[in-house]
Structure 1
Amino acid sequence: MAYPHLTDEPGGIATATQIREGHISPLEAVDAMIARIEKLDPAINAVVVRDFDRARSAAKAMDGLDIMPHQPLFGVPMTIKESFAIGGLPSCWGFKEYEGQLQDADSTVVRQLKAAGAIFLGKTNVPPALADWQSTNPVYGRTGNPHDTSRSPGGSSGGSAAAVASGMSPLEYGTDIGGSVRVPAHFCGVWGHKTSWGLVSKQGHDHPAFKGTDAHDGVLSIAGPITRNADDLALLLELTAILPLRRHEKPLKDCRFLLLAEHPVSEVDAGVRGPIEAAVDSMRKAGITVDDHSPDLPDLAGDHGAYMRMLNIAMARGAPAPDGSVASAADWFDLLDLQARCELSWANLFESYDFVLAPPAPVLAIEAVEGQSFQGDTLINGQMVPAANGLAWAGIATFPNLPSTVLPVGGTGNLPCGMQVIGPRWADFDCIAAAKAIGALLHG
């Protein structure tokens, strides 16, 4: 089946082209997007921080200006995850105690996109501390999945994906440490890219408790784009990457893929497995090599355990674990050693394969629940299992610092399903190009 989709609204490049060719003005583009937000967002609640007056003023100021070569997004309205700083707007990360705490300056990503001509309409919803696959908090309330508002759009960039999927924003930027770009893209049926760690600046993406200290998060966490097509992903990455990347884009028929559909920690539900296997079957019928097994596959169970320990330490920011323990410096250096070994294992695998295909999560969009979804169970193939086990599918790219592009590949019922295209570190544009080619093969 064709994957479920919600909107035929133009993407970022298409909107920029309309403006450049004089079909619409920046103000008309901004007003149209504001009207769409005002119409649709009462039911979805994705764009929770709104900056419409300043957006209109910025658009009016662009009227009659020449479009410079460095402004490929001239006049294009967009939104961004609430956790990114925009001067004059709040960034509370869903914490009631930081509600209304205004930011003094723009984050690096916001500055880069403004320099390219983008106009920010506002910011999108997150879970508290960016720590769930839901986007619900006591400040802004709950964001619903546009395909079924009783379900989650994912997290922590859930508001981002919901806004893009419903056509309330053509472009978004989120962050990912436990699937927070990839899972919302998967749940909402849009495109998302987890960047190679260190490729995009996280300056100005600071926990509100550390406002003004420039203590932005370090290990594992990345910033990455969410869009409705692959070309927009690539453009946003070009505009925000802090170093030039190689591009060895190969035709699909010349690529070798490894399908990773099983994980010792996390079973995959049939609702996810079915669309991914159908996509892989289409690839094989087109003459593309997709293997099911490799003797060079890293130690998935061992790496997942190390990933979870590193993830919990990074998220705790020095707070004791539930058992009262605090990681020592020796514990941390041991984890860095394990991470380096994991990176080498994946580099060895990529000597034989161009890309690895995998589910972004073991389930489709989950039903909204009270509290943090990771603290409960989830239904997989008729059995209730710990929901936190699903982080295994995020960790396969996060722990070794690899890039991963999620594209929509199909759906089950009225819910979309995505697939990860994971590549060697710094092969970000190659991942996006391969995902684009797979999408063209599947959907035309």
Structure 2
Amino acid sequence: MTQTATKLAAEIRSGQVSSREVTEQLLERIAADTTVNAVVETRPEYAVRAAAVADELVAAGRETGPLHGVPMTIKEAFAVAGMHSTWGNRMFADAVLDWDATVADRLTAAGAIIVGKTNVHAMLADFGQTVNEVYGRTSNPIDPSLVPGGSSGGSAAALAAGLTYLEYGSDLVGSIRLPAAYCGVYGLKPTAGVVPLRGLQPPGEPLLELEFPSMSNVGPLATSAADLRTALRVTGGPAVPSAYSWQLRPPRHRRLADYRVGVVLDHPAARVSAEVGEVLSGLVDRIAASGATIVDGWPAGVDPVEQAEAFGIQVGTTMAAFGDSTESGDFGEVLAHERRRVELRATWQRYFDDIDVFLCPTSFTTAFPHDDRPFDQRTITTSYGEQRYDAQVFWIAHATLTGLPALSMPAGVTRAGLPVGAQVIGPWHEDDTAITFAELLD
């Protein structure tokens, strides 16, 4: 399966293929999988019925949406009426919800058919692996002995294995971008607040969204940059207006040669392995050969180590805002950290006055072997020795802390055939500048 969701929707609308045929074939592929364990629940009767209706609308010449008739999956942590939402927690193993998350509702309104749900790490509590007591372990389709990333590991693995055409995940500590990098697909963390979080919650009645700033984000994973744009267009915007009421700001440029690209490919805090560095250097060479301007170095005023530490503190604040009292702190400290976060975003925005996108690694490593040791005992073997497990957070921290849009795109593969992810960070509320840059590189 190589077709992208956007192109598939166009073929369904034109009558070249039928939604029912495509949906039935996808369900067959999901049922046949015995190694990846990415899609953990399906609703075949609903999916086939919805696909038949999609084909009838095409035959009748009715207006259709941007994702009309496209079968897709969604991260298990989102509420979807009639489906389980366990968060990989045995306490919630029997929880079936009767309402839809905002993104599920908007994807359906755009014509997509949510055929199933993908696996998550237990309570979304790991950025490198995806395993839980309800559904078990998800593996990387490229090599099942390796991790797919977490906590949206099922999302990225399903795409890489051809078990879905489009996915929607969540990202607080790189949970979209890291799995996308390890599985060789695209994943977008949008500008903070662009896509409503309603419905990304443990089982229960719908929670009201807090106005307290949150670094949690929800966004699409896909097999192309164009699909990221399509999915963001139909899911973005305030929670109250209906779908299609929100518009992406246009990209700054439509030619790769016109881009000014900031680049940092390594840092002692999370040294990039030799094989990852080789692929990323080749990507930068290709960008330079296109005529684009390369500007080396971090933005003026940004200390990446200090910023990564600030990110860790802000994650604690976010957890406290959502009910984890163990992470709460003095209000004055919280306010000071929040002020510093906003100052750092302003620093990055000044940088983007002259630079269009910032390119850096998504992770210092490629996918690595499953590791069942306690979290604080895990390490990752690299070309220069053992690295701390939590060093995976370093490269994704900066965009999350500041709320900037950031996507992971496939940069190439190592000599061993493992995908390498490049992270593209864009200006505040200019998601399509980052998406278009990645699309032009593809």
Q: TM-score over 0.5 for the alignment?
A: yes
Residue 68 of structure 2 corresponds to residue 74 of structure 1: yes
Aligned to 2:243: none
Q: Give yes or no for contact 2:26–2:163 (8 Å, CA) kept in 1.
A: yes
Distance 2:376 2:26 in 1: 34
Alignment deviations for residues 96-153 of structure 1 (CA, whole Å, 9 cap, x no partner) = 1111211120111011011111111110000012121211101000000000011111
Q: Give yes or no for contact 1:187–1:365 (8 Å, CA) kept in 2.
A: yes
Distance 1:372 1:182 in 2: 23
Aligned to 2:378: 376
Of residues 125, 136, 157, the one that matches 1:131 is 125
Residue 105 of structure 2 corresponds to residue 111 of structure 1: yes
Distance 1:295 1:20 in 2: 45
Which secondary structure state, in structure 2, belongs to the residue aligned with residue 197 of structure 1? Answer: coil
User: Which moves more between the two structures, 142-151 or 250-259?
Assistant: 250-259
Distance 1:374 1:35 in 2: 40
Q: Give yes or no for contact 1:11–1:232 (8 Å, CA) kept in 2.
A: yes
CA change 1:234–1:326 in 2 (3 A) is closer
Q: What is the alpha-carbon root mean square deviation over aligned residues?
A: 1.9
Residue 341 of structure 1 and its aligned partner are, at CA, apart by 1.2
Of residues 7, 18, 21, the one that matches 1:28 is 21
Aligned to 1:394: 396
Aligned to 1:84: 78
Residue 263 of structure 1 and its aligned partner are, at CA, apart by 3.1
Aligned to 1:244: 247
CA change 1:286–1:62 in 2 (3 A) is closer
Aligned to 1:13: 6
Aligned to 1:64: 56
Which secondary structure state, in structure 2, belongs to the residue aligned with residue 337 of structure 1? Answer: helix
User: Which moves more between the two structures, 50-59 or 210-219?
Assistant: 210-219
CA change 1:161–1:69 in 2 (3 A) is same
Q: Give yes or no for contact 2:81–2:97 (8 Å, CA) kept in 1.
A: yes
The one-letter amino acid paired with 1:437 is L
Of residues 351, 354, 360, the one that matches 1:349 is 351
Residue 116 of structure 2 corresponds to residue 122 of structure 1: yes
Residue 428 of structure 1 and its aligned partner are, at CA, apart by 0.3
CA change 1:431–1:115 in 2 (3 A) is same
Which secondary structure state, in structure 1, belongs to the residue aligned with residue 220 of structure 2? Answer: strand
Residue 230 of structure 1 and its aligned partner are, at CA, apart by 1.3
Residue 24 of structure 1 and its aligned partner are, at CA, apart by 2.4
Aligned to 1:329: 331
Residue 9 of structure 1 and its aligned partner are, at CA, apart by 2.6
Distance 1:207 1:218 in 2: 20
Aligned to 2:241: none
Distance 2:301 2:153 in 1: 31
Q: TM (normalized to structure 2)? A: 0.92
Which secondary structure state, in structure 1, belongs to the residue aligned with residue 84 of structure 2? Answer: coil
CA change 1:355–1:60 in 2 (3 A) is same
Residue 381 of structure 1 and its aligned partner are, at CA, apart by 2.8
Residue 427 of structure 1 and its aligned partner are, at CA, apart by 0.8
Alignment deviations for residues 218-238 of structure 1 (CA, whole Å, 9 cap, x no partner) = 611111111111111111111
CA change 1:74–1:205 in 2 (3 A) is same
Of residues 129, 154, 161, the one that matches 1:159 is 154
Q: Give yes or no for contact 1:20–1:67 (8 Å, CA) kept in 2.
A: no
Residue 30 of structure 2 corresponds to residue 42 of structure 1: no
The one-letter amino acid paired with 1:270 is A
Which secondary structure state, in structure 1, belongs to the residue aligned with residue 230 of structure 2? Answer: helix
The one-letter amino acid paired with 2:332 is A
Residue 207 of structure 1 and its aligned partner are, at CA, apart by 2.7
CA change 1:403–1:295 in 2 (3 A) is closer
Which secondary structure state, in structure 2, belongs to the residue aligned with residue 44 of structure 1? Answer: coil
Residue 365 of structure 1 and its aligned partner are, at CA, apart by 0.6
Residue 57 of structure 1 and its aligned partner are, at CA, apart by 1.9
Which secondary structure state, in structure 1, belongs to the residue aligned with residue 337 of structure 2? Answer: helix
Distance 2:350 2:224 in 1: 31
CA change 1:110–1:416 in 2 (3 A) is same
Alignment deviations for residues 148-181 of structure 1 (CA, whole Å, 9 cap, x no partner) = 0111111111101111111110100111111111
CA change 1:277–1:140 in 2 (3 A) is same
The one-letter amino acid paired with 2:82 is G
Distance 1:301 1:283 in 2: 27
Distance 2:256 2:346 in 1: 25
Aligned pairs, number: 427
Distance 2:56 2:308 in 1: 54
Which secondary structure state, in structure 1, belongs to the residue aligned with residue 348 of structure 2? Answer: helix
Distance 2:226 2:401 in 1: 27
5+ residue gaps in structure 1? 1-7, 440-444
Which secondary structure state, in structure 1, belongs to the residue aligned with residue 302 of structure 2? Answer: coil
Aligned to 1:438: 441
Aligned to 2:176: 181
Task: State, as a whole percentage, how many aligned pairs show the same letter.
Answer: 35
Which secondary structure state, in structure 1, belongs to the residue aligned with residue 380 of structure 2? Answer: strand
Residue 56 of structure 1 and its aligned partner are, at CA, apart by 1.4
Distance 1:374 1:273 in 2: 26
CA change 1:362–1:68 in 2 (3 A) is farther
5+ residue gaps in structure 2? 238-245
Aligned to 2:230: 235
Q: Give yes or no for contact 1:296–1:348 (8 Å, CA) kept in 2.
A: no
Aligned to 1:3: none
Residue 273 of structure 2 corresponds to residue 281 of structure 1: no
Residue 213 of structure 1 and its aligned partner are, at CA, apart by 3.4
Q: Give yes or no for contact 1:134–1:372 (8 Å, CA) kept in 2.
A: no
Distance 1:179 1:29 in 2: 31
Distance 2:62 2:224 in 1: 24
Of residues 307, 310, 334, the one that matches 1:306 is 310
CA change 1:198–1:380 in 2 (3 A) is same
Which secondary structure state, in structure 2, belongs to the residue aligned with residue 406 of structure 1? Answer: strand
Aligned to 2:364: 362
Aligned to 1:95: 89
Of residues 145, 163, 169, the one that matches 2:140 is 145
Which secondary structure state, in structure 1, belongs to the residue aligned with residue 432 of structure 2? Answer: helix
Residue 167 of structure 2 corresponds to residue 172 of structure 1: yes
Q: Give yes or no for contact 2:263–2:298 (8 Å, CA) kept in 1.
A: no
Residue 185 of structure 1 and its aligned partner are, at CA, apart by 0.8
